[in-house]
Structure 1
Amino acid sequence: MAAQPSTPDWSRVRLHVVTGKGGTGKSTVAASLALALAAQGRQVLLCEVEGRQGIARMFDVDPLPYEERRIATGLRLRGRAPGVVHALHIDPESALLEYLAMYYKLGRAGRALDRFGVIEFATTIAPGVRDVLLTGKVYEAVQRNNRNKNAIRYDAVVLDAPPTGRIAQFLNVNDELAGLAKVGPIKSQADSVMTLFQSPRTAVHLVTVLEEMPVQETADGIAELRQAGLPVGSVIVNQVRPGDISAHDLAAARAGKLDAEQIEADLKEAGVDIGDGLVEGLLAEAHDHAERRALEDSQRAVVAGLGLPTYELPRLPGGVDLGGLYELAEDLAEQVIR
């Protein structure tokens, strides 16, 4: 993963929001980022708001309740003792119950409303309120003070956020509430959330792969975030194929000019049994790979033109398990963790 000349200083950032088009691996990147940030003894909270229990699956733990749970030890960086990654699964119904108990003292009454389905109804018909509740819990974790002495004070919070197509709407909670609440505690909470989201303490990172549609959606997402006054942090290019074939050989493969006789001779020398169509099949695969690499290079140029710090994470051939998350975390830490 090549370092960028414009590597930002993330030391001031307390909230890292990770978004991306579906299928780009944004949840994997969010988890890897949390592990990387937990280096050097940092306490990190990894949050999810989409109700998929993705964190539990990635870290191979039981489904998360609506409370903070320790799930992993952070990346060990430069021989220093790592910190801890906690996780929180935020669902709107639990967030609303907590909100009612905090602002209106509706403890048992709030739970009664939940049994009657009132809370689900409220968060469904008023999606703006739903987003305020979800983001409000994230805000509380970032801004946590000493009022609750038993609560952990985190050095960083990583939010596995909704996809790029909805991220500006999700974060821009004031606009979502414009027609619903002009005064009152919900409006006050939205104002506080927006103050954090639009400050240098927040960075929105967009995850993409080197394909035309995800890259275009990334560009559109950046424009929408900037229009809403939300700080864009970086573009993280995920699932990058290894560049272990020279540019000369790639060009020859695309042009159909690889030396079939030499390839056959090399295979025989290596003891490979040359069956019918083996060389032709290899040449066809080489051509397809070269075409794919050319497409990726063209999209890499588009990403570079977005004018943001850009980082690349490799495609892991064995898939992403917990060990793979740590591999990706190390890649990120080498470039952006200070």
Structure 2
Amino acid sequence: MGERVSRWPARLHVVTGKGGTGKTSVAAALALGLAAGGKRTLLVEVEGRQGIAQLFETEPLPYKELRIAKVAGGGEVRALAVDPEEALLEYLDMFYHLGAAGRALRKVGAIDFATTIAPGLRDVLLTGKVKEATTRSQDGKRAYDAVVLDAPPTGRIGRFLNVTAETAKLAKVGPIKTQSDSVAALLRSPISSVHVVTLLEEMPVQETLDAVAELKALRIPVGRIILNATRPALVTAGRVTKAELKRGLAEAGLPTDAATVTGLATEVKDYLTRQELEETLRAELTETGLPLVELPLLPRGVDQAGLDELAAALMRA
């Protein structure tokens, strides 16, 4: 138990990555892994995609914390899809006591107007809700042992998390600034950690490197780089001759005609080129000085068994 906590010491885990890298699956697997042993975790999404509901094959999530998974040892994962409009209504009620009046604003479109002309307000509301869940206490103890945020992609992560700069454009004093300052303090504390998901492909790796540099410049703690959908090396030799391929085909009882051997030789050459590129990209990521976690490719796709496999791999890392 203690070993698992020391490997993932933060209480708020922000998961980002270029679109298509599997960041939602990784966030869900991390929430499952951190819930093992009787823990309670909250998995949060803020992009309105209902990615968590699709992943767990449930109905679209409301603006409410609902249990979506039980974990061995008595743990559980709850999920929350944060809606900016509902978060603003909650904010207005909390700080200005505008319960009914706030709901009336929604009917005339004022809330949508407000978050459109001041997009920084939207991010303050979203991150503010995540902060509240992370720090909330019930009966003298934390409501959640860990909160995992399926965050916006790497191209937007710096602006999304740098709420202080965004709020400075909206307000110099008052509840909005106070809330953004408290969120900024949390995001820059040891309680928080941002993990970046990538594939061993050039564009995702470059976006990962850019995001890591941006987050470090913002003094936001970066935890791990997670290499998703990796495959074990099928060929370890630097060069495979046609004679070796022909011998291997024969031993496997497969055709050994010239066309088959030549075609296989071309595939092996392409594979070794790809493998060399992956090693170069892995080396670039290693130079960041951040721990790398490798997750396997799931041939059957990301189902519940696949999520459990990823969760176990994350907890071993």
Task: Indicate the TM-score class for this superposition, using the shorter chain for normalisation.
Answer: over 0.9
For the residues of structure 1 that align with 2:220 and 2:248, how far apart are their CA atoms?
56
Matching residue of 2:230: 240
Structure 1 residue 36 displacement after superposition: 0.7
| One-letter amino acid of the counterpart of residue 252, structure 1 | R
For the residues of structure 2 that align with 1:208 and 1:189, how far apart are their CA atoms?
32
| One-letter amino acid of the counterpart of residue 178, structure 1 | A
For the residues of structure 1 that align with 2:103 and 2:35, how far apart are their CA atoms?
36
For the residues of structure 2 that align with 1:73 and 1:242, how far apart are their CA atoms?
31
SS of corresponding position for 2:53: helix
> Is it true that 1:289 corresponds to 2:253 in the alignment?
no
Matching residue of 2:205: 215
Of 140, 151, 162, the match for 2:152: 162
Matching residue of 2:106: 114
For residues 189-213 of structure 1, what are the alpha-carbon distances to aligned partners after superposition, in whole Å with 9 as ceiling and x for unaligned? 1111111111000001111111222
Of 302, 307, 331, the match for 2:313: 331
Cα separation, partners in 2 of 1:276 and 1:142, compared to 1, 3 Å: same
| One-letter amino acid of the counterpart of residue 99, structure 1 | Y
For the residues of structure 2 that align with 1:22 and 1:290, how far apart are their CA atoms?
27
Gaps of 5+ in 2: none
SS of corresponding position for 2:295: strand
Q: Is contact 1:24–1:238 with CA below 8 Å preserved after alignment?
A: yes
For the residues of structure 2 that align with 1:324 and 1:236, how far apart are their CA atoms?
16
Gaps of 5+ in 1: 1-6
Matching residue of 2:10: 13
SS of corresponding position for 2:159: helix
For residues 103-160 of structure 1, what are the alpha-carbon distances to aligned partners after superposition, in whole Å with 9 as ceiling and x for unaligned? 22222222221122211111111111000000010011011024xx7x9800000000
Matching residue of 1:66: 63
Q: Is contact 1:47–1:87 with CA below 8 Å preserved after alignment?
A: yes
SS of corresponding position for 1:23: coil
Cα separation, partners in 2 of 1:10 and 1:331, compared to 1, 3 Å: closer
Q: Is contact 2:87–2:126 with CA below 8 Å preserved after alignment?
A: yes
For the residues of structure 2 that align with 1:95 and 1:275, how far apart are their CA atoms?
67
Cα separation, partners in 2 of 1:199 and 1:152, compared to 1, 3 Å: closer
Matching residue of 2:285: 303
SS of corresponding position for 2:239: helix
Between stretches 131-140 and 110-119, larger displacement belongs to 110-119
For the residues of structure 1 that align with 2:315 and 2:265, how far apart are their CA atoms?
38
Matching residue of 2:239: 252
Of 26, 30, 39, the match for 1:29: 26
SS of corresponding position for 1:277: helix
| One-letter amino acid of the counterpart of residue 46, structure 1 | L
Higher relative contact order (Cα pairs below 8 Å, separated by 6+ residues): 1
| One-letter amino acid of the counterpart of residue 222, structure 1 | V
Of 202, 205, 208, the match for 2:195: 205
Cα separation, partners in 2 of 1:219 and 1:241, compared to 1, 3 Å: same
For the residues of structure 2 that align with 1:243 and 1:276, how far apart are their CA atoms?
26
For residues 283-307 of structure 1, what are the alpha-carbon distances to aligned partners after superposition, in whole Å with 9 as ceiling and x for unaligned? 2221111111110000011111110
Structure 1 residue 279 displacement after superposition: 2.5
Aligned pairs for 1:176-215 (under 5 A) are 176-215=166-205
Matching residue of 1:4: none
For the residues of structure 1 that align with 2:43 and 2:217, how far apart are their CA atoms?
27
Structure 1 residue 274 displacement after superposition: 5.5
Of 116, 126, 140, the match for 2:118: 126
For the residues of structure 1 that align with 2:100 and 2:32, how far apart are their CA atoms?
38
Structure 1 residue 325 displacement after superposition: 0.9
For the residues of structure 2 that align with 1:89 and 1:127, how far apart are their CA atoms?
18
Structure 1 residue 320 displacement after superposition: 1.5
Structure 1 residue 169 displacement after superposition: 1.0
Structure 1 residue 214 displacement after superposition: 1.6
Matching residue of 2:300: 318
> Is it true that 1:51 corresponds to 2:71 in the alignment?
no
For the residues of structure 1 that align with 2:89 and 2:15, how far apart are their CA atoms?
26
| One-letter amino acid of the counterpart of residue 191, structure 1 | D
Structure 1 residue 165 displacement after superposition: 1.5
Cα separation, partners in 2 of 1:27 and 1:211, compared to 1, 3 Å: same
Q: Is contact 1:8–1:309 with CA below 8 Å preserved after alignment?
A: no
Structure 1 residue 276 displacement after superposition: 7.6
SS of corresponding position for 1:40: coil
Give the TM-score taking structure 1 as reference length.
0.87
For residues 59-108 of structure 1, what are the alpha-carbon distances to aligned partners after superposition, in whole Å with 9 as ceiling and x for unaligned? 1111100001101123x4xxxx1410000001111111111122222222
Matching residue of 2:215: 225
| One-letter amino acid of the counterpart of residue 62, structure 1 | E
Give the alignment's Cα RMSD to 1 decimal: 2.0
Structure 1 residue 229 displacement after superposition: 1.4
For the residues of structure 2 that align with 1:276 and 1:23, how far apart are their CA atoms?
39
Matching residue of 1:40: 37
